[in-house]
Amino acid sequence: MEIVDYLLSAEKERREVVKVTDKYPNLTFEEAYVLQEKLIQKKEQEGARRIGLKLGLTSKAKQQMMGVHEAIYGYLMDNMLALEWEPIDFNQLIHPKAEPEIAFFIGEDLQGTNITAADVLQVTQYVAPAIEVIDSRYLDFKFTLADVIADNCSSARFVVGSKWMSPAGLDLGNLGMIMSKNGELSTVGAGAAVLGHPATSVAWAVNKLGEIGKGLKKGDIVLSGAISEAISFQPGDSILVQFAELGSVSFTCK
């Protein structure tokens, strides 16, 4: 539990800490997910509630860069949900960055180890534009994969846009996206950046959870993975993500 307390206090006290693997260089992915689960349980004991999942390392390029062959997942808690009309408080974060995402609203339970993208779309009630604010607790955002898994995949905040659509009529793989900061274009991308299709990434997560007897629950929100690289922001900045067909989502930072 020492590692869990270490990461939790770093988050609460808004301070960077050296990565866990400096002290435990042989930490495996399996052990890291066990630590992540304990971290989340601790947050639950303090009153937070799980409301879904987020995916990381969903781009093949990023996976190759990190020398891994699969994505990673973390949990979304109810106290991470930020609102478009309320500024995000920089003083609660360490070194935040914004990532454009497509959020999936799950309409019925889904569990198994052979789940496909089609199965995911079948149970998805709505998709919506989203921004995830990642904020690793590690010094200079430097970590190994085991470190980031243990740290609940750098989760901090997320904002969901107000336009929710059925995925049925949308070509999510080819959905174009532009992200701008203070009115200037920062990044562009398309849904295919997320493992070829965002639903493929969600299916991967369901299958991964299935291996430990878990799955998605009706009402869960899933952030399917970043559609472009993350951009950092400071107080006074505003971030806008616009999707073709799916509308936009934005936030300001104070």
The arithmetic mean of pLDDT across residues 100-108, rounded, is 98
The arithmetic mean of pLDDT across residues 189-201, rounded, is 95
- Domain limits of the chain? 2-252
- pLDDT at residue 60, rounded to an integer: 80
Using the structure block, give the residue that is written with the tokens 């793989």.
173
Output the pTM of the full model.
0.96
* Cα–Cα distance, 214 to 76 (Å, whole number): 15
CATH code linked to domain 2-252: 3.90.850.10
E strands in the chain: 50-56, 72-77, 81-82, 97-106, 124-134, 155-160, 176-181, 184-190, 221-223, 231-232, 238-243, 247-252
* Cα–Cα distance, 220 to 99 (Å, whole number): 20
CB 178 within 8 A of CB 187: yes
- pLDDT at residue 130, rounded to an integer: 98
Over residues 60-99, the pLDDT tens digits come to: 877 877 778 889 999 999 999 999 999 999 999 999 999 9
Q: Are strands 72-77 and 184-190 parallel, antiparallel or unpaired?
A: unpaired
pLDDT above 90: residue 157: yes
Enter the DSSP assignment of 213. Answer: T
* Cα–Cα distance, 144 to 78 (Å, whole number): 27
